Amino acid sequence: MTEALPQAANHPTPPDAPHQAFAMVTELLQSLGHAHAPQWLSVPARTAQEAADALGVQVGQIAKSVVFRRRSDDAAVLVVTSGDRRVDEKKVAAQVGPIGRADAEFVKRQTGFSIGGVSPVGHASQPVTLIDQDLQRFDVIWAAAGHPNGVFRLSPADLARLTGAPVVDVVQHPA
């Protein structure tokens, strides 16, 4: 695939006072030697479609973060998948044990991020993380950087390296 460049009026940093979670993700990625600093979008992107529209990329290139609650120990389970795919909870449970839905309070407490801005890195408590193999369809993907207006560019290999998570099949496949 060819690389799509962002088309929205994006900024390397927030135009106002820095947002703490965005700044933390920015610093973390820099300390890990990630080549692409997070960008601040001119519009919030709480959904994969909003992010794709703001960046001018395919919705599948958005690495959306979906958080579940593992029933056995109340741990957060983070599934990072393509924006055009739906997580198959049975496949996730086969990997990590029985799971349930996570509400906004649980997500914020466990990850340190609000829904719509959950980064795959920099969590308050280390979640059990799975990366869906369908992200491998793309050379360039975009993930949330701790805030609905924050995103960062990476490759699927970068995502696996940064998270240390296994790449597995955890989505429903189109018929």
pLDDT tens for residues 95-117?
Answer: 999 999 999 999 999 999 999 99
Residue 31 CB partners (closer than 8 Å, separation 6+): none
pLDDT tens for residues 19-60?
Answer: 899 999 999 999 999 999 999 999 999 899 999 999 999 999
Segment 127-153 shows an average pLDDT of 96
**How many whole angstroms separate alpha carbon 135 and alpha carbon 17?**
33
What domains are there in the chain, each with its CATH number?
20-172 (3.90.960.10)
pTM: 0.88
Per-residue pLDDT band for 1 (boundaries 50, 70, 90) equals: very low
pLDDT at 6 over 50: no
SS3 state of residue 39: strand
pLDDT at 10 over 60: no
- Kind and range of the H or E run holding 49: helix 48-55
At 72, list the tokens: 């056995």
pLDDT tens for residues 57-84?
Answer: 999 999 999 999 999 999 999 999 999 9
Segment 86-93 shows an average pLDDT of 97
pLDDT at 12 over 80: no
SS3 state of residue 144: strand
**How many whole angstroms separate alpha carbon 173 and alpha carbon 35?**
32
Residue 53, strand partner residues: none
**Four-point Cα dihedral 55, 155, 166, 51, nearest 10:** 0
pLDDT at 18 over 60: no
